[in-house]
Structure 1
Amino acid sequence: MTQPDSSIAQLRRLPPLAALRAFEAAARHVSFRQAAEELGVTPTAISHQVRLLEDSLGFALFVRRARGVVLTDAGRRLFPTLRDGFDAFERAIWELSPRPRRVAVTLSATTLFTVRRILPAIGRFRERFPDYDLRLHASDDPVDLIAGEADVAVRYGSGAFRGLVATPLLAERFGVLCSPKMAIARPNDLRGATLLHIEWRRAGKAPDWRRWARLAGIEGLAVDRGPRFTEDDHALQAAAAGSGVVLSGLALAQPTIDAGLLVHPFGPVIEGEAYHVVTTPDNRDAPAVCAVCDWLREDVV
């Protein structure tokens, strides 16, 4: 085919854009009705634009039939070029259009709190706050919020975190947990059971078996015997498997209790402290931080 010379090509002697767009949509759907729905016009308007294009080109693009339309050979040859051209227009415009930058917000929490409470609710955060990317930092070592190592933290304690703003989130209590298969129904049943121990980092306030036995008024319980775990979750998994009875936080074990894998058969309980949402005074009102705090209060606990 003879190509137009450069001077003519620069004039862009093309049919009206509306007619080309109508044809491309009609050819893609092979339907004037569906093309009209896509472009928000009537089928008559699509038919009119296609007819204008055919008159401009001097050849037919569709064969009109009672039950629809069929592309002619010329229409089949023209359609891919127009389709690719419109796709290229859309892609170029999208790439050039300014888009709001997504905001990343980092939440730090202990490993067990992250596994037991945060991860099950992570989908709800994406639903409620699609413009924020939540980054999780799971560690039992506290991060330096002032230095910007995280934006928000969940910390366990009295709430007196120097230089930070803390809001109570979830109170913790410690009690006896075991698999329902162990059929432990009374405190005296513990005498024949394997006691599982968690090596708490805060030894001064550790909810250990000795404290629990004293509170329960049980004497002669082998409170120093049994396997020891440095990770809370490992002890809970062992208890759920029926390997023994553990003294652990009831709040963080609640999802496993709800699933029927663990039971809290009897008291007493040891009152603990609370999990707090912690921010800095400077960022407490930042929209991303407020989103995380709202989500923690309303969906996580």
Structure 2
Amino acid sequence: MIKRLPPLNSLRVFESAARHLSFTRAAEELYVTQAAVSHQIKTLEEFLGLKLFKRRNRSLLLTKEGQNYFSDMKDIFSAIQEATDKLLERSEKGALTISLPPSFAIQWLVPRLADFNRQQPDIDVRIKAVDKDEGSLFDDVDVAIYYGKGHWPGLRADKLYQEFLIPLCSPLLLHGEKPLIELSDLAGHTLLHDTSRQEWKQFVKENDISGVNVNHGPIFSHSTMVLQAAAHGQGVALGNNVLAQPELASGRLVAPFDKVLMTDNAFYVVCHEKQADTGRIATFRDWMIARAKQEQEEMLDE
């Protein structure tokens, strides 16, 4: 026959109160009221049929039974803490599956993975490229990179990069037969589209550019394809500020104008709320957030 255990929450309160010999300090440690501490101690004493504390001249003392009980409880709580620490240590190692858009994987994450691997050699990263997130994480995914407005119920989402779009082209196109000097010069060039023509339509409208036919030009399903087409001189693209960085840094793409198109979208690192702050998931999240912050600060300093 299984014996009934004492209320576990009351045990936790008792351990804290006995360690501090103070209901007030126990309440502060556990983020509850002093009345709640008193209630839990009373519940435990009623369950045991014994008094565990006695008051003397504004001080709190353990009874003999309370002292013996606390001595045993200390070892039990220490064992629980040790077991928890071991579990968390193991959870900080092993495989980590990351789901993210192909373009972000190719342009941002993969080139930086060596840095993460150096810092965390015990974590094996598995990359899973997906064309579109489902707004929820499947069982085989630990962390994801989502692109959107940051509202995914039940998930922890931390912003990495706010998006803005930049007109980009090959240096050869910039200084070719039809140089790109003014925004109106776009009328003489092919526009390259990412998924739809909506972004170029918005850019042309916001900047009041006339003579530009936004209803022509190839449409690509991935941002990387658009950037590669622009780098090969096939037209002018509206490139994402994050995804275009490798081509801009290498000089394969240049920004002929100082105009940008701001959007409501951003890249977010996403995981289940309950897993966000422990183990290898927290380690990877912290690395991504810190790396993105560092690079944005460096760009502002340039």
TM interval, shorter chain, is 0.5 to 0.7
Partner of 1:191: 187
Contact 1:152 1:289 in 2 (8 A): yes
Verify: 1:264 aligned to 2:255, yes or no. yes
Task: Kindly provide the CA deviation profile for residues 176-214 of structure 1, in whole angstroms up to 9, marking residues without a partner as x.
Answer: 1101111223212211111111224xxxxx752111111
Report percent identity of matched pairs: 34
Runs of 4+ in 1 over 6 A off after TM superposition: none
Contact 1:174 1:207 in 2 (8 A): no
Verify: 1:169 aligned to 2:160, yes or no. yes
Contact 1:114 1:138 in 2 (8 A): yes
RMSD: 1.9
Match of 1:243, SS?
coil
Verify: 1:136 aligned to 2:133, yes or no. no
Contact 1:207 1:270 in 2 (8 A): no
What is the CA–CA distance in structure 1 between the aligned matches of 2:169 and 2:206, rounded to whole Å?
A: 19
1:283 to 251, 268, 275: 275
Match of 2:243, SS?
helix
Partner of 2:234: 243
What is the CA–CA distance in structure 2 between the aligned matches of 1:241 and 1:146, rounded to whole Å?
A: 37
Partner of 1:35: none
Distance apart, 1:298 and its partner CA: 2.8
Task: Kindly provide the CA deviation profile for residues 122-171 of structure 1, in whole angstroms up to 9, marking residues without a partner as x.
Answer: 11111000111111111122157544231111111111111101111111
Partner of 1:292: 284
1:217 to 197, 208, 211: 208
Stretches of structure 1 that go unaligned for 5 or more consecutive residues are: 1-99, 201-205
Match of 1:127, SS?
helix
Query: Which one-letter code corresponds to 1:299 in the other structure?
Result: R
What is the CA–CA distance in structure 2 between the aligned matches of 1:229 and 1:281, rounded to whole Å?
A: 34
Contact 2:136 2:152 in 1 (8 A): no
Partner of 1:228: 219
Partner of 2:99: 108
Please say which structure displays the higher CA radius of gyration: 1
What is the CA–CA distance in structure 2 between the aligned matches of 1:104 and 1:185, rounded to whole Å?
A: 50
Task: Kindly provide the CA deviation profile for residues 46-66 of structure 1, in whole angstroms up to 9, marking residues without a partner as x.
Answer: xxxxxxxxxxxxxxxxxxxxx
- Alpha carbons of structure 1 residues 207 and 268: separation in structure 2 relative to 1, 3 Å: farther
Match of 2:244, SS?
helix
Count of aligned residue pairs for this structure pair: 197
Stretches of structure 2 that go unaligned for 5 or more consecutive residues are: 1-89, 175-179, 296-302
What is the CA–CA distance in structure 2 between the aligned matches of 1:278 and 1:121, rounded to whole Å?
A: 18
What is the CA–CA distance in structure 2 between the aligned matches of 1:218 and 1:141, rounded to whole Å?
A: 32
Query: Which one-letter code corresponds to 2:112 in the other structure?
Result: A
What is the CA–CA distance in structure 2 between the aligned matches of 1:119 and 1:146, rounded to whole Å?
A: 21
Partner of 2:245: 254
Contact 2:220 2:226 in 1 (8 A): yes
What is the CA–CA distance in structure 2 between the aligned matches of 1:131 and 1:143, rounded to whole Å?
A: 29
Question: Normalization by structure 2: what TM-score?
Answer: 0.61
Distance apart, 1:290 and its partner CA: 1.2
Contact 2:191 2:214 in 1 (8 A): yes
Contact 1:180 1:263 in 2 (8 A): yes
